[in-house]
Amino acid sequence: MAKEITPRSEDYSQWYLDIVHKAGLADSSPVRGCMVIRPHGFAIWEKMRDALDAMFKETGHVNAYFPLFIPKSFLSREAAHVEGFAKECAVVTHYRLKNDPNGQGVITDPEAKLEEELIVRPTSETIIWNTYRDWIQSYRDLPLLINQWANVVRWEMRTRPFLRTAEFLWQEGHTAHASREEAMEETLRILEIYRRFAEEYMAMPVIKGVKTPNERFAGADETFCIEALMQDGKALQAGTSHFLGQNFAKAFDVLFLNKENQQEYVWATSWGVSTRLIGGLVMTHSDDDGLVLPPRLAPIQVVIVPIPKPIPALMEVANQIAARLRALGISVKVDNDDQKRPGFKFAEYEMLGVPVRLGLGQRDLDAGQVEVARRDTKEKVNVPLDGVGEYVERLLRDIQQNLFARAKAYLDAHITRVDKWEDFEAVLEEKGGFIAAHWDGTTETELEIKERTKATIRCIPLDAEKEAGACVLTGRPSQQRVLFARAY
Amino acid sequence: MAKEITPRSEDYSQWYLDIVHKAGLADSSPVRGCMVIRPHGFAIWEKMRDALDAMFKETGHVNAYFPLFIPKSFLSREAAHVEGFAKECAVVTHYRLKNDPNGQGVITDPEAKLEEELIVRPTSETIIWNTYRDWIQSYRDLPLLINQWANVVRWEMRTRPFLRTAEFLWQEGHTAHASREEAMEETLRILEIYRRFAEEYMAMPVIKGVKTPNERFAGADETFCIEALMQDGKALQAGTSHFLGQNFAKAFDVLFLNKENQQEYVWATSWGVSTRLIGGLVMTHSDDDGLVLPPRLAPIQVVIVPIPKPIPALMEVANQIAARLRALGISVKVDNDDQKRPGFKFAEYEMLGVPVRLGLGQRDLDAGQVEVARRDTKEKVNVPLDGVGEYVERLLRDIQQNLFARAKAYLDAHITRVDKWEDFEAVLEEKGGFIAAHWDGTTETELEIKERTKATIRCIPLDAEKEAGACVLTGRPSQQRVLFARAY
């Protein structure tokens, strides 16, 4: 299997597609821009979902479910929102098919036309704030901390599995608050949850920042984000948390009686991460032999392969080891396939990204040991059978940390401070990654740079020091460096 | 709150709507036939999903995700399937909106018309079997045991929250097998999982049976089901498991090389349960004071209410008890609201269906005891503080069993053997429930009975004894009784 992957050095884009396909993450589908998420890909998404869901619930959020369809008129209610969103959507116009009188198939029944078209949700602010109007009367009803796991549809022209698909899975949080401060706190609390999830579970280092007005979510007052860096030097927006101000409350007439007994518009946030994260996971850690998964998100953390085949004596020991590992909370697969050879299996599990592989041969057993191979560095060591449980437990933690450290070193080495325009273009072409440069704060300059280089301002980092300087393009004064990059 | 519920004796249908609304399960939405599942309703669904998902995984199934949209032509591929399904669907005809040149809103862009319309999935057999063609080549690829948690849309004319909505959430399993026997085994394995889930988690007794050809799933060779009985004497189909034969394999050209090296069509099953189960849960156990939840599906199993208010001395003990209960794996809420009075809170938790309520007053504390109230029977007892953890643990098991026993007694008392037509109509009118009667096996008679009485054949029970008899309507010979009922 592994031999069929295009090397990264040859064609990074094809390498990505090869990994997605051959590691069983996703397939294309007959529906334009929609993918099939295969069992291995979905198992990773389930682990992501469970970890995030627990973090949301720990911070007081609850889940709910709102309709898939949004009445067309709702999209026009918030002016900036419709401007930014309403264009590329799936539009439901009819509610019935009928047999084709001229043929064998079915046709849309022209008599079953909807009075008002329905839009398949591209995001749910409008339908949710329309509902919140009924749920919120007084400050006692606030805060409302609701999340939804759902599918959404945005009719994208160019799609790539996980990174950009017409339909994708995500979570969207929609919270309502009694004050600006509380809503802003929530926006940043979620941003920090996203950072922790990306770094501690995905082992993917990120930069927390705020978007420029031009890159803001349609309808938001501020959009915060976490930005990651892929192996090819391109950035990936991995999650966004929006401070929506009172925009949606005003659009949908959501007022509350505050403690001073006055009617006030409700303050809002919304935030989301999606199956796009799986693309980020692939492009942060994987190599030319296949997927590399951080142990905390690996559906199978350890595989035990009897060598050369699953004979009873070996299977007995393998099952004992598996039981010991499972007792430590580790997910284990014992390979009992007697059709394939060990070399083939090793390549297969490397392709799937299983973090640790135990090879168990008769000679190992006689010597009271087992061969332990780690996926991230490909190192192998012989470990005494006695302490293998604790060894593997520690190794999984090591792998998790090593993956993060490796990605962090790469990220740190690819943030380049640039002060001259000619360096800007050269760094972008030759090195890639983030460019920390001064910017004069205008959308005009931002767009001009994008036009010339395809690089966009990924974010204004939250932890950036104030530093007087001159815009890298126009030379006009600037107070702080921002991060530019080409992005997915 | 409780006082606003319409009594069941007065109007069962309105009682149901009152419970759904006032217990915070669901709200209506501005989209016709689509509901908003509120946090309390969704928390119950999450518990259902987690329990079922674990049962599917224990039996070797994995989750995946297939596109929301189905190309229109796919529906026509399986003849019986399109006959039974294709009519009432949401049809996507366009993929873009644009600003209305004559106004403020947006309109469907006539230039963005899809070449082939897309149907929002009413069920996914067609798109999944189209995918399986790429996944299955040989018997080594089988069985394929895949499940999907998803939303589906069926444009229903008359809707009721949870029981019948245009959009609903469900799981749909789609498995592929190398032989008829194996596929039939899978169909029945899942039916038994559904029975176990209904009886052991929902405390809702069910009858396992097979549908008549007239009530079969469109495209199935056999449809098995679990049927439950609601408090008003109407039946509820709670889950179906279909043996699809080779119908979809033939429609989508899915062949495999068997062990004898011959090409053969793949055998299939599909099976699903949906948010409809929440409606069944409500109508099996709840009463005029609100929701009654079986402990295994209750988001909060125990609530502790300090009386008359949450003063520090009471809160300390309440938190100690909560910690003890949580250590036993019980979910607990300590009520720390100092605005509402105990009587109001009691009614509120009864409305929400919390199985056990602990009332904690200073006098109780002085006596070293706590008042324990159970939601199912409304009984209250004083329990020594010392053993309260173990007492509550046992009580939750008792409540779970009691709810099942109560519902089982009701079901057993409402299966009436009927041999004469005049009795059939009388029992249906006066008593309701299932009527066990002989049927001549023809669709004609089945439809005639439905026409006359609105009762349908819910199923041919799997455990029914063979018994020669005469059809209750036509007097023609019959080998076995079947179950008739009016149904949701």
- In chain A, the residue whose alpha carbon lies closest to the alpha carbon of B166 is A67
- Is B259 exposed, middle or buried, given 0-12, 13-18 or 19+ CB atoms closer than 10 A? exposed
Are A134 and A61 contained in the same domain? Answer: yes
Q: Which amino acid type is present at position A323?
A: A
- Which stretch of A414-423, B97-106, B218-227 has the lowest confidence by average pLDDT? B97-106
Single residue among B340, B363, B395 that ends a domain in this structure: B395
- In chain A, the residue whose alpha carbon lies closest to the alpha carbon of B168 is A67
pLDDT-derived band at A3, boundaries 50, 70, 90? low
Are A136 and A272 contained in the same domain? Answer: yes
pLDDT at A465: 87
B483 neighbors B415 (Cβ within 8 angstroms): yes
Q: What is the mean pLDDT of residues B255-274?
A: 98
pLDDT at A423: 98
Residues B443, B446: Cα–Cα separation, whole Å: 5
Specify the CATH number for the domain of residue A475.
Answer: 3.30.110.30
Asked if residue A469 belongs to a domain, the reply is: yes
The 3-state secondary structure of chain A, one letter per residue: CHHHCCCCCCCHHHHHHHHHHHCCCEEECCCCCCEEECHHHHHHHHHHHHHHHHHHHHCCCEECECCCEEEHHHHCCCHHHHHHHCCCCCEEEECCEEECCCCCCEEECCCCEEEEEEEECCCCHHHHHHHHHHHCCEHHHCCEEEEEEEEEECCCCCCECCCECCEEEEEEEEEEECCHHHHHHHHHHHHHHHHHHHHHHCCCCCEEEECCHHHCCCCCCEEEEEEEECCCCCEEEEEEEEEEECHHHHHCCCEEECCCCCEEECEEEEEEEECHHHHHHHHHHCECCECCCCHHHCCCCEEEEEECCCCHHHHHHHHHHHHHHHHCCCCEEECCCCCCCHHHHHHHHHHHCCCEEEEEEHHHHHCCEEEEEECCCCCEEEEEHHHHHHHHHHHHHHHHHHHHHHHHHHHHHCEEECCCHHHHHHHHHHCCCEEEEECCCCHHHHHHHHHHHCCEEEEEECCCCCCCEECCCCCCEECCEEEEECEC
Q: For chain A, say whether B90 makes contact (Cβ under 8 Å).
A: yes
| Crossing angle (nearest 10°) for helices B39-58 and B180-196 | 140
Are A383 and A478 contained in the same domain? Answer: no
- Percentage of chain A with pLDDT > 90? 94
Residue A95 is part of which domain span? 2-285
Asked if residue B405 belongs to a domain, the reply is: no
Are A280 and A328 contained in the same domain? Answer: no
Asked if residue A190 belongs to a domain, the reply is: yes
- Which stretch of A63-67, A105-109, A111-115 has the lowest confidence by average pLDDT? A105-109
Q: Tokens for B353, please give them.
A: 């269906």
Largest CA distance in chain A: 81
Are A167 and A218 contained in the same domain? Answer: yes
pLDDT-derived band at B3, boundaries 50, 70, 90? low
Q: Give me the phi and psi of A353, to 5 degrees please.
A: 85, 20
Specify the CATH number for the domain of residue A157.
Answer: 3.30.930.10
Are A329 and A277 contained in the same domain? Answer: no
Residues of A in contact with B134 (CB under 8 A): 27
Are B198 and B329 contained in the same domain? Answer: no
The backbone region for A371, taken as left when phi is positive above 0, alpha when psi lies in -120 to 50, beta otherwise, is beta
> With 70 as the cut, is the pLDDT of residue A36 above it?
yes
Give the tens place of pLDDT for each residue, A389-419. Answer: 999 999 999 999 999 999 999 999 999 999 9
Distance from chain centroid for Cα A442 = 29
Please name the residues between 356 and 385 in chain B that touch chain A, using a CB distance below 8 Å: none
> Is the omega angle on the peptide bond into residue B143 within 30 degrees of 0, that is, cis?
yes
Are A305 and A204 contained in the same domain? Answer: no
> Is the omega angle on the peptide bond into residue B312 within 30 degrees of 0, that is, cis?
no
pLDDT at A87: 80
CA geometry: angle at B452 spanning B450 and B457, to 5°?
25
Are A7 and A110 contained in the same domain? Answer: yes
As a whole number, the mean pLDDT across chain B is 96
The backbone region for A219, taken as left when phi is positive above 0, alpha when psi lies in -120 to 50, beta otherwise, is left
Please name the residues between 408 and 467 in chain B that touch chain A, using a CB distance below 8 Å: none
Are B275 and B305 contained in the same domain? Answer: no
- Is B181 exposed, middle or buried, given 0-12, 13-18 or 19+ CB atoms closer than 10 A? exposed
As a whole number, the mean pLDDT across chain A is 96
Q: Tokens for B125, please give them.
A: 């057999």
Q: For chain B, say whether A326 makes contact (Cβ under 8 Å).
A: no
Give the tens place of pLDDT for each residue, B305-355. Answer: 999 999 999 999 999 999 999 999 999 999 999 999 999 999 999 999 999
Asked if residue A403 belongs to a domain, the reply is: no
Cβ–Cβ gap A105/B73 under 8 Å: yes
CA distance B110 to chain A (A): 11
Asked if residue B407 belongs to a domain, the reply is: no
Asked if residue A292 belongs to a domain, the reply is: no
B311 neighbors B319 (Cβ within 8 angstroms): no
Are A225 and A326 contained in the same domain? Answer: no
* ipTM entry: 0.97
pLDDT at A309: 94
**Pairing between strand A113-120 and A69-71?**
antiparallel
Give the tens place of pLDDT for each residue, B370-412. Answer: 999 999 999 999 999 999 999 999 999 999 999 999 999 999 9
**Per DSSP, what are the bridge partners of residue A332?**
A302
Q: For chain A, say whether B191 makes contact (Cβ under 8 Å).
A: no
Q: How many domains does chain B have?
A: 3
pLDDT at A2: 45
Asked if residue B264 belongs to a domain, the reply is: yes
Give the tens place of pLDDT for each residue, A441-483. Answer: 999 999 999 999 999 999 999 998 899 999 999 999 999 999 9
Q: Tokens for B1, please give them.
A: 């709150």
Q: For chain A, say whether B312 makes contact (Cβ under 8 Å).
A: no
Single residue among B230, B262, B285 that ends a domain in this structure: B285
- In chain A, the residue whose alpha carbon lies closest to the alpha carbon of B109 is A87
A290 neighbors A19 (Cβ within 8 angstroms): yes
Cβ–Cβ gap B71/A153 under 8 Å: no
CA distance A28 to chain B (A): 9
Report which of A300, A406, A401 is spatially closest to residue A358, judged by C-alpha positions: A300
Q: Tokens for B111, please give them.
A: 């230039």
Single residue among B257, B285, B313 that ends a domain in this structure: B285
pLDDT-derived band at A99, boundaries 50, 70, 90? confident
Specify the CATH number for the domain of residue A357.
Answer: 3.40.50.800
Asked if residue A258 belongs to a domain, the reply is: yes
Tokens 């980020």 correspond to A280
Are A430 and A338 contained in the same domain? Answer: no
Q: What is the mean pLDDT of residues B198-207?
A: 98
